[in-house]
Structure 1
Amino acid sequence: MLTQKTKYALKALTVLADEQAQDGTALRIEEIAERSGAPKRFLEHILLDLKRAGLIGSRRGRNGGYELIKDPRRVSLAEVLRLIDGPLAPFPCLSRNAYQRCEDCKDEVSCSVRAVFGGFYTTYILMLESLTLSDLMREARPLERFGLPGLGGGE
């Protein structure tokens, strides 16, 4: 499950991407908070993380604020999720960036839990890596390109 922090980050990035597409002006944190529905004081920390990662920049002065500095088509959702929440793998032995051998596993090759979740995780990661901030901006259903219908509710 995604954290609320990640959800706010994605919404803030979408607001900045929309602004970039319209007229390219920088937005003050108050404007981003209002448009995204994220609390301002929570958003301050998120925007700093996004800035450190090189996704957004800031301008000082009267027309200052935050702006998206990366093309929305080049910002994968997986990149944002990893940045905000850390590794995406369900087990450390499946992680690309934070690999660790599981202490209770005698043999990764014959581990059925790793095999089953590894297959699921690979599919999940391939989809997340291919979905971008640009997909969040569209009204189309991005999962349809994978032959999947849009999801309603439930788990």
Structure 2
Amino acid sequence: MLSQKAKYALRALIMLAERPDDELVLIADIAERENIPRKFLEAILVELRKQGLLFAKRGKSGGYRLARPANEISFGEVIRLIDGHLAPIPCASKYSFKPCEDCIDPDTCSVRWLMVQVRDATAGVLDKRTLADALRHRQATGGLAANFDI
């Protein structure tokens, strides 16, 4: 299941994708527009900056912007950075495999077999969809326009 932290990260990133590449956006503006608690958002944005998804500038004319083009940032990448993995159970994780305590043999476990398929299908969608795709969807469905001003 997608954590609230990952949902907030995605919403903030999509908002930043709406802005021109060189425009910096204040945390307060993101928090207000996306209805995200500011302190929680601050921690999320710092984490995304450390992971190379955001550029930040401090000071009077500071703020945040995407560090890479929106079409190069996938939902899968963001979710993995925030939540750690896409697998529904730890034994199905590609990068952080951990066998279940009650499992006799993960290689023959039918539950794991199915959950690996779920993981692969989920990754197949999330790794192909980018912030640019979400922005196009937002605009096509009458979501907030790219020129939205706070």
Question: What is aligned with 1:27?
Answer: 25
Assess if the C-alpha contact under 8 Å between 1:27 and 1:66 holds in 2: yes
AA at the equivalent of 1:9: A
Deviation at 1:25, TM superposition (A): 1.2
Question: What is aligned with 2:101?
Answer: 103
Assess if the C-alpha contact under 8 Å between 1:93 and 1:101 holds in 2: yes
AA at the equivalent of 1:28: L
Q: 2: CA distance between counterparts of 1:120 and 1:89?
A: 7
AA at the equivalent of 1:54: G
Q: Which runs of 4+ in 1 moved over 3 A?
A: none
Question: What is aligned with 1:10?
Answer: 10
5 Å-filtered alignment, 1:61-80, equals: 61-80=59-78
Question: What is aligned with 1:144?
Answer: none
Work out which of the residue numbers 122, 125, 137 in structure 1 matches 2:123: 125
Assess if the C-alpha contact under 8 Å between 2:24 and 2:63 holds in 1: yes
Unaligned runs of 5+ in 1: 141-155
What SS class does the counterpart of residue 65 from structure 2 fall into?
Answer: strand
Deviation at 1:126, TM superposition (A): 0.9
Q: 2: CA distance between counterparts of 1:41 and 1:26?
A: 19
Q: Deviations over 1:27-63 (max 9, x none)?
A: 1111111222212111111101110110001112332
TM-score, L = length of structure 1: 0.81
TM-score, L = length of structure 2: 0.84
5 Å-filtered alignment, 1:124-143, equals: 124-139=122-137
Out of 86-95 and 40-49, give the one that drifted further.
Answer: 86-95
Assess if the C-alpha contact under 8 Å between 2:53 and 2:67 holds in 1: yes
5 Å-filtered alignment, 1:50-69, equals: 50-69=48-67
Name the count of aligned residue pairs: 138
AA at the equivalent of 1:3: S
Q: 1: CA distance between counterparts of 2:129 and 2:120?
A: 14
CA RMSD in angstroms comes to: 1.6
